[in-house]
Structure 1
């Protein structure tokens, strides 16, 4: 897997991802980073929570 660091202070474009697409229209998605699995949750108030 190729990884690239982006200096967000100088980058003109930072990748954007729609949370509702990530969750498949639901409220939860699992995101893998290396060997770790994180849970992305959309709350009833429309906020995002990311937990390990």
Structure 2
């Protein structure tokens, strides 16, 4: 398995590289989803959730 910062691969490319193909799970980059302000809205069953990246680099999902 390559080191996390090996070469010029992006975080998404690295995640895809270490995720088994058979898992069939989509991979999303949180920074891309959240944009410059670090916040995104996600809708599930007509309910809106807020995904936020903290200053410490953690993800928080709230209703």
TM-score strictly above 0.5: yes
Unpaired segments ≥5 residues, structure 1: 1-10
Aligned-pair RMSD on alpha carbons?
1.2
| Aligned pairs for 1:23-42 within 5 A | 23-42=34-53
Structure 1 segments (4+ residues) deviating >6 Å: none
More strand per residue = 1
Unpaired segments ≥5 residues, structure 2: 1-21
| Aligned pairs for 1:7-26 within 5 A | 11-26=22-37
Greater shift after overlay, 39-48 or 21-30?
Answer: 21-30
Paired residues in the alignment total 42
CA contact (8 A) 1:20 1:26 kept: no
TM-score by length of 2: 0.59
